[in-house]
């Protein structure tokens, strides 16, 4: 072996360890790989940074912008709602509808974005149909992953098409994945709807905390058990609280309670702030431990009123709503506290409770570090809903009937631009990158997105991951490392024919995909698959399609795809749940792939 070949294998091995152990972010690992290949002289400076100039990277950026335009104009959510409305109340039909909606949207947008768009509608339809949300969220995640198989517009497929083009073979067009991907989508949906659903958890963490009768009320206060921590107390004459602002009352500091509303002169005041002044005779609606407050209320500061059954409407008015939001996967709030992020000042709403895993947190959460998957129970002006819906850090789970559209009256324009962009990309495959970017720019020119919103919509981690890993493909080909790996696979399985070789490369891809980003797996396995096809006289396009489909089979563990992590907390899932449903599903898809692919693309 020459030195460059040894160094390439060493860099590849270190990268695989870092990807699998998740010690560093995947995008950072990818950039380190590119730099290492350049510093060691394996790649020229131009080759090292060639990933950033690829049409593949431009296409990925454009897809993020186009998807955000569809979301902001309400098109994506309306499509999902229509599909869910036809499902009725049958659990199997709901699963089919949820997975179909997820697969359809993920044909055109990032899988996580598709799931985030459909989460509110899925939550709402589950409650209306009295179906446990845990029965629908994993199917939703799996549906969005399946949808990515049938289109060029997913990161993994774009990377593989670029690698194929680098090898001197024609890349893929917009619709080339569909003849294999669509049947696999059908197989996956059918499996979950008719077989896999029997292994889904009966109840999520949320479902286990309140009865079916309460679930039908769709009441967030009952869902969070917030009523157990709400109580009313009147401010008596001569109380030291009279005339003090809430920030001066020391109620939070000394007694661990928060004031969520004030009843004054027969009216409820919800729009309170730290500067709101307490008056004689005010009745304070407080959140906290009432018994602890009673024991420490020695002045007395308050006259406690009889307890009552609290409902969502008790904390709402014509202008004030109680609603729920989740942290998005790329949220800047992750690892921050409500205090350090100035949450109330930024969004103009109050946090009443936090749902994390299997526990509700009602007190002392101002300095609690937020985590991905946290659900926040919020109270604030209804006019703030569009602001929250437009924020990339939050996924607003609107439980009301109205749909929050942050850019009204732009839906038809967004659809026209998007459909035109896809049509042109389908007819002119070599110009896909330029056409997709043109469509993204048109969304900005028509006022659906500002340039700042477009930049914020781009998943820069995905961009840097792809730009950093594409040079690895060049290095594997340049040092003949890919040829060496291909030769090992051929010596092991070659005597059994091209189908066995394809099965072998697919199996390796599926295994790596359970713990690694699919695009990184594609960048490593793609060059090997191309060399296997070239050395055996097989069809390289067929082998790359096989790798693309296998790199999307991230169903066995939640680590294979971020969308699995997104639904893991709200659905109350654990690793065993993914294994019970995802492993048989992967086996069915694997066998279907080996049956369908040779019939359509040949070997």
**CATH number of the domain where residue 243 is located:** 3.30.70.1450
Q: Is the pLDDT of residue 217 over 50?
A: no
Does residue 405 lie within any of the structural domains? no
User: For 211-225, what is the mean pLDDT?
Assistant: 51
Does residue 338 lie within any of the structural domains? yes
Q: pLDDT, tens digit, for every residue of 5-38?
A: 899 999 989 988 888 787 788 889 989 999 999 9
User: For 296-300, what is the mean pLDDT?
Assistant: 65
Residues 334 and 421 placed together within one structural domain of the fold: no
Backbone angles phi, psi at 254, to 5 degrees: -90, -25
Residues 374 and 422 placed together within one structural domain of the fold: no
- Token pair 């990515």 is found at 148
Total structural domains in the chain? 3
Does residue 38 lie within any of the structural domains? yes
Does residue 514 lie within any of the structural domains? yes
Does residue 360 lie within any of the structural domains? yes
User: For 506-512, what is the mean pLDDT?
Assistant: 92
Residues 427 and 465 placed together within one structural domain of the fold: yes
Does residue 235 lie within any of the structural domains? yes
DSSP characters for 165-233? HHTTS----TTTTHHHHHHHHHHHHHHHHHTGGGGS-S--HHHHTS-HHHHHHT-HHHHTTGGGGEEEE
Residues 300 and 350 placed together within one structural domain of the fold: no
Domain closes at, from 397, 432, 448: 397
Q: pLDDT, tens digit, for every residue of 531-570?
A: 999 999 999 999 999 999 999 999 998 877 878 877 876 7
d(CA 318, CA 311): 15
Domain closes at, from 293, 314, 335: 314
Torsion of CA 538, 542, 543, 549, to 10 degrees: -160
Residues 141 and 194 placed together within one structural domain of the fold: yes
Q: pLDDT, tens digit, for every residue of 240-265?
A: 888 888 878 877 777 778 888 888 88
Residues 297 and 359 placed together within one structural domain of the fold: no
Measure CA 565 to chain center: 8
Residues 78 and 104 placed together within one structural domain of the fold: yes
Cβ–Cβ under 8 Å, residues 322 and 186: no
Does residue 445 lie within any of the structural domains? yes
Residues 186 and 246 placed together within one structural domain of the fold: no
Give the SS3 label for residue 593.
helix
Tell me, what's the pLDDT at 403?
Answer: 47
Does residue 411 lie within any of the structural domains? no
Q: pLDDT, tens digit, for every residue of 46-92?
A: 999 988 888 888 988 998 898 888 877 877 777 766 766 776 678 88
In this prediction the pTM is 0.74
Full residue range of the structural domain in which residue 106 is found: 3-203+417-601
Measure CA 400 to chain center: 22
Residues 54 and 129 placed together within one structural domain of the fold: yes
Residues 328 and 436 placed together within one structural domain of the fold: no
Domain closes at, from 266, 289, 314: 314
pLDDT confidence bin for 350, thresholds 50/70/90:
confident
Residues 129 and 87 placed together within one structural domain of the fold: yes
Q: pLDDT, tens digit, for every residue of 108-127?
A: 877 887 887 787 778 777 77
The DSSP element (H or E) to which 262 belongs, if any, is strand 258-264
Residues 457 and 562 placed together within one structural domain of the fold: yes
């Amino acid at each position: 072996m020459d030195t460059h070949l040894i160094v390439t294998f060493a860099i590849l091995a270190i990268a695989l360890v870092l990807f699998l152990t998740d010690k560093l972010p995947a995008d950072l690992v990818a950039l380190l790989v590119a730099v290492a290949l350049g510093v060691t002289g394996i790649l020229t400076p131009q080759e090292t940074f060639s990933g950033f100039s690829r049409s593949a990277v431009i296409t990925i950026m454009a897809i993020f912008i186009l998807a955000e335009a569809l979301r902001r104009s309400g098109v994506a959510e309306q499509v999902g709602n229509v599909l869910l409305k036809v499902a009725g109340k049958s659990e199997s039909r709901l699963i089919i509808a949820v997975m179909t909606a997820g697969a359809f949207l993920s044909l055109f947008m990032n899988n996580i974005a598709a799931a985030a768009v459909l989460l509110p509608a899925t939550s709402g339809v589950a409650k209306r149909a009295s179906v446990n949300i845990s029965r629908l969220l994993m199917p939703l995640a799996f549906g969005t992953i399946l949808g990515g198989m049938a289109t060029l517009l997913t990161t993994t497929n774009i990377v593989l098409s670029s690698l194929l083009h680098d090898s001197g073979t024609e890349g893929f067009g917009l619709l080339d994945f569909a003849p294999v991907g669509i049947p696999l989508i059908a197989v996956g949906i059918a499996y979950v709807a008719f077989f896999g659903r029997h292994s889904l958890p009966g109840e999520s963490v949320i479902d286990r905390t309140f009865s079916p009768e309460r679930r039908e009320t769709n009441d967030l206060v009952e869902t969070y058990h917030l009523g157990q921590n709400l109580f009313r107390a009147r401010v008596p004459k001569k109380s030291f609280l009279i005339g003090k602002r809430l920030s001066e009352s020391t109620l939070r500091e000394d007694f661990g309670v928060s004031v969520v509303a004030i009843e004054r002169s027969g009216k409820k005041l919800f729009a309170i702030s730290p500067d709101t002044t307490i008056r004689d005779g005010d009745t304070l609606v407080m959140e906290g431990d009432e018994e602890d407050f009673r024991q420490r209320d020695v002045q007395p500061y308050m006259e406690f009123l009889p307890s009552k059954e609290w409902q969502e409407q008790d904390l709402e008015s014509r202008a004030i709503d109680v609603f729920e939001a989740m942290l998005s996967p790329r949220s800047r709030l992750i690892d921050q506290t409500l205090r350090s992020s100035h949450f109330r000042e930024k969004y103009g709403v109050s946090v009443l409770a936090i749902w994390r895993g299997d526990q509700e947190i009602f007190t002392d959460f101002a300095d609690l570090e937020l985590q991905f998957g946290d659900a926040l129970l919020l109270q604030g002006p209804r006019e703030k809903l569009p602001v929250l819906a437009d924020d990339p850090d939050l996924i607003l789970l609107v439980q009301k009937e109205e749909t929050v559209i942050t850019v009204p009256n732009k839906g038809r324009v967004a659809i026209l631009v998007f459909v035109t962009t896809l049509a042109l990309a389908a007819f002119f495959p070599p110009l896909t990158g330029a056409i997709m970017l043109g469509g993204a720019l048109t969304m900005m020119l028509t006022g659906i997105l500002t340039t700042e919103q477009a930049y914020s919509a781009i998943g820069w981690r995905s961009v840097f991951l792809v730009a950093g890993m594409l040079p690895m493909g060049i290095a594997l080909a340049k040092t003949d490392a890919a040829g060496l790996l291909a030769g090992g696979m051929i010596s092991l399985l070659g005597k059994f024919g091209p189908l066995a070789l394809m099965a072998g490369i697919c199996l390796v891809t599926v295994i790596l995909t359970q713990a690694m980003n699919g695009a990184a797996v594609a960048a490593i396995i793609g060059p090997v698959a191309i060399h296997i096809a070239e050395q055996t006289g097989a069809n390289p396009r067929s082998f790359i399609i096989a790798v693309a489909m296998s790199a999307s089979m991230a169903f066995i563990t939640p680590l294979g795809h971020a969308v699995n992590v997104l639904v893991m907390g709200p659905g109350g899932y654990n690793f065993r749940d993914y294994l019970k449903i995802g492993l048989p599903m992967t086996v069915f898809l694997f066998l279907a792939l080996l049956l369908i692919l040779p019939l359509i693309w040949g070997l």
